[in-house]
Structure 1
Amino acid sequence: MSLTGKPALTTAAAITNDGFWPDLALGDLLTKYRIPAEYADDVIKTGLMMAILRVNDQLEAVKAAIVALEFTTLAGYASVHHAREVGGINALQLQYEHAVFARAKAGLLKQFNTLSRKPEAENAAKESDDTEQYWLDESQGCIKAFFDLIVPASNTLGKANARVVLL
């Protein structure tokens, strides 16, 4: 058992990606992004898979540009063109993980209010629109970083939602 009460093998499971983008582990999402332990494993897995799909779709032009340079994986491209590392992990790999995990957390936190639990006030921060927007913006900022580096003419926004206010 892990500290969350979930079997270690369940939370350590990797989600196989498309072969270009790296595989991501459920356990990393749980530990690095503090997903509430009350979620069933399938809820977390579905949230992570949906985030992978959404981020991969947004990064399709980045993937196409890298493949056009004759690289078959992000890791292959990163090792040649972007060797910068943080904590022994390639910076592009970290950007991708953060984009996906932040998107997954944003989606999962909005589901928290459907669980049986103590009074709503205790979980207000987990469920607030500001919290969701923060994680969506974190994800979109990482996506923008990929575009700025690999497809700079794309004019990709760094925020998940742009707002216009009339004065």
Structure 2
Amino acid sequence: MFSGKPIDYQDEPLTNDGFWPDLNLADFQRSRSIPADVDAETVGEALLAAVAEVNGQLATVQDKYKAAGYAGAIDVPGARMGGSNQLTAQYKKAVYARAKADLMGEFATVGRRESHPGQEGDDTRKGLLAEAATVIRQMNGLRRATVRQV
């Protein structure tokens, strides 16, 4: 139930590798509707783990852009809005979806099903992982699906 009080998210910066954008725990919590009652340390660890996984999957993308002379993802030409460009927006989408998928088990713990219905489902988790995978494939220059002949 809405109490009228603002939600107190953890304003904790995540310093990235210098190429990919730095992130913020509060931005993740807000943008992906992470319940404020989920332990901030647990949320932070999920975000760090997602960054490590996504950075690993995008290593060749990063190498390609660095070889082309771009110091950071924000420097790559493309559509822009606010302080982001399409590459940094895709990156955040992939990381945030992966991190939320990792947190799905936290929503299913005692007492949370009533306050956050539907957020603990396996279908939701699979959908978030598919969202992250699709964005990562796009960033790697691949289509949504690849068909190989065996």
User: Which TM-score tier does this pair reach, normalised by the shorter chain?
Assistant: 0.7 to 0.9
Give the aligned partner of residue 153 of structure 1.
Answer: none
- Give yes or no for the alignment of 1:132 onto 2:125: yes
Q: Which structure shows the higher helix fraction?
A: 1
List gaps (5 residues or longer) in structure 2: none
Does the 8 A contact of 1:137 with 1:158 survive in 2?
no
Give the aligned partner of residue 3 of structure 1.
Answer: 6
Give the aligned partner of residue 87 of structure 2.
Answer: 92
> RMSD over aligned Cα, in angstroms?
2.3
Give the aligned partner of residue 105 of structure 1.
Answer: 100
CA distance in 1, matches of 2:59, 2:20: 11
CA distance in 1, matches of 2:46, 2:143: 23
Instruction: State TM-score, norm by structure 1.
Output: 0.75
Give the aligned partner of residue 53 of structure 2.
Answer: 54
Identity %: 31
The letter for the 2-side match of 1:107 is D
CA distance in 2, matches of 1:28, 1:46: 15
1:79-126 Cα offsets, whole Å, 9 max, x none, are: xx32x124563111111111100111111112322x3316x5775621
Indicate the SS of the match to 2:19.
coil
CA distance in 2, matches of 1:91, 1:27: 21
Instruction: State TM-score, norm by structure 2.
Output: 0.83
CA distance in 2, matches of 1:23, 1:88: 12
CA distance in 2, matches of 1:90, 1:131: 27
